[in-house]
Structure 1
């Protein structure tokens, strides 16, 4: 099978901060409901795209204006749907609870 084209599922409307735009996306995670979570590094945010919708919802604003100053390049998700975002400039891990839309800052330990 040789694919010759793709289907636009997020972004594609130029670089920018609007809900249909991305700026340096660096990580993508899909949940069990086919929601796509995109780490939009250039905009310091995490955007959620629901199936069939190319308009994103900002679920985490990591900008300096929000008090976080998120500078991340990757993220992970646990079996409960929490997102974990390593912030390498601030040397911290952000945990984002998608169910309660809360976040906390701290170090992970095993």
Structure 2
């Protein structure tokens, strides 16, 4: 919801549970940056997704290399924060 609005709009996911770029699986945390891009920790898909304002599908910004503990892998990510320089920080299990 935007302040003062009575109806919300879907800005990330919204196409059922799954692993496509327009889907999420058990999302845990949302972060919105100054450009209104939405970051979601996609727990079930072991990735962090980013939706720029108005996008119909997201962009994988971390993980999506299968569950694991390697440098390019995540294992059930929980929190996500993005700093002013665009660095993505992920709390991972």
Indicate whether the TM-score tops 0.5. Answer: yes
**Greater RCO, 1 or 2 (C-alpha within 8 Å, sep 6+):** 2
Q: RMSD across aligned C-alpha pairs, in angstroms? A: 2.1
The range that moved more, 61-70 or 24-33, is 61-70
> What count of residue pairs does the alignment treat as equivalent?
87
- TM-score, normalised to structure 2, is 0.77
Aligned to 1:64: 67
Q: Is 1:47 paired with 2:49?
A: yes
C-alpha deviation, 1:17, in angstroms = 0.2
Q: Which residue of 1 aligns with 2:78?
A: 73
Compared CA separation, residues 9 and 65, structure 1 to 2 (3 A): same
- 1:42 match: secondary structure: helix
The gaps in structure 1 that reach 5 residues or longer are 89-110
Larger-gyration structure (1/2): 1
The SS at the match of 2:61 is strand
Task: Please state how far the C-alpha of 1:64 moved relative to its aligned partner.
Answer: 2.7
Instruction: Report what 2:28 is aligned to.
Output: 26
Structure 2 alignment gaps of length 5 or more: none
Q: Distance in 1 between matches of 2:61 and 2:88?
A: 11
